[in-house]
């Protein structure tokens, strides 16, 4: 009897061992997180589902600079409190826009880090309107120090992190150093991150000991009130202008036009101030 019982128990465990991974795998497949290409609220599980979502006339299609992604989601949350419209959001720059348009994708609203990029869409007859959305600011984060002024850069001789070289935030950081007559002194310590790297995380893990970042990224990280963070005065660099363009396609869609108007109203302005914009 004991041998029979033991064999039955072994068989039961074997069945459980085979069936559980299959069950867990199916659960994982159905709960995949949203990627950068996403429809807010659900993940299309097939090309057909994505095509059907694209055909929804209420869908609002956005291309947003990655440095503004967290902020636009805050604004969308406020908008959806009264108008539960679906959104499709791409993170990308003006360079990504060209590729995505070539792939046949359409957008209703485009958000760039330079007014010239938004205005270019109007001059190329892709958009009907371009407007300034927000004015950004740079911040300095030095986790090992108290950042009361830029002199904190002289307290160590290690690398100083900057955003990717093709970004407006890279140029703004160098401009800060040039205006304060510090650029030559620290030039050999400047280290630009790769295009798809998160500079905030590299400083957080102490891989880079000090860095210039967009101020809203420090607000997003919840460290903007810490002693090791310094918000740079507006006169330390040229204005970082976040601008939006309403495309021709977006101008023809009622929901897109409604969200466009919301971007420039008081509720949106409140979210922008909370996120650290001027």
CATH code of the domain in which 162 resides: 3.40.190.10
Asked whether 206 and 199 are in contact (CB, 8 A), the reply is no
Same domain, 127 and 42: yes
Tens digits of per-residue pLDDT, 119-154?
Answer: 999 999 999 999 999 999 999 999 989 999 999 999
Same domain, 129 and 54: yes
Asked whether 260 and 250 are in contact (CB, 8 A), the reply is yes
Structural domain span for residue 178:
138-231
Query: What CA–CA distance (Å, rounded) separates 133 from 225?
Result: 25
β-bridge partners, 42: 39
Same domain, 225 and 145: yes
Interhelix angle 69-79/266-274, rounded to 10 degrees, is: 140
Q: What is the pTM for the complete model shown?
A: 0.81
> What is the enclosing helix (H) or strand (E) of 243?
strand 240-247
Is 99 a domain residue?
A: yes
Q: Residue 215 contacts by C-beta under 8 Å, 6 or more apart in sequence?
A: 136, 137, 138, 139, 224, 231, 232, 276, 277
Tens digits of per-residue pLDDT, 6-16?
Answer: 434 433 333 33
Tens digits of per-residue pLDDT, 22-36?
Answer: 223 223 222 323 334
């Amino acid at each position: 009897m004991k041998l029979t019982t033991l064999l039955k128990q072994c068989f039961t465990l074997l069945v459980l061992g085979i069936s559980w991974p299959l069950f867990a795998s199916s659960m994982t497949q159905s709960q995949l997180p949203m990627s950068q290409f996403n429809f807010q609220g659900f993940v299309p599980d097939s090309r057909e589902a994505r095509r059907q979502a694209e055909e929804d006339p209420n869908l609002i299609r956005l291309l947003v600079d990655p440095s503004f992604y967290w902020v636009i989601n805050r604004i969308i949350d406020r908008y959806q409190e009264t108008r539960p419209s679906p959104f499709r959001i791409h993170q990308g720059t003006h360079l990504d826009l060209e590729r995505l348009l070539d792939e046949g994708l359409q957008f209703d609203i485009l958000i760039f880090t330079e007014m010239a990029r938004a205005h270019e869409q109007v001059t190329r007859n892709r958009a009907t309107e371009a407007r300034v959305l927000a004015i950004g600011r740079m911040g300095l984060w030095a986790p090992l120090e108290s950042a009361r002024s830029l002199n904190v850069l002289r307290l160590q001789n290690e690398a100083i992190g900057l955003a990717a070289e093709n970004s407006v935030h890279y140029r703004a950081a160098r401009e800060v150093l040039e205006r304060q007559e510090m650029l030559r002194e620290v030039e050999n310590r400047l280290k630009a991150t790769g295009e798809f790297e998160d500079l905030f995380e590299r400083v957080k893990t102490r891989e880079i000991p000090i860095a210039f970042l967009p101020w809203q990224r420090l607000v997003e990280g919840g460290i903007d009130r810490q002693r090791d963070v310094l918000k740079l005065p507006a006169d330390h660099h040229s204005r970082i202008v976040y601008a939006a363009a309403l495309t021709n396609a977006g101008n023809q869609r009622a929901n897109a036009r409604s969200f466009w108007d919301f971007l420039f109203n008081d509720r949106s302005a409140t979210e922008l101030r909370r996120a650290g914009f001027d």
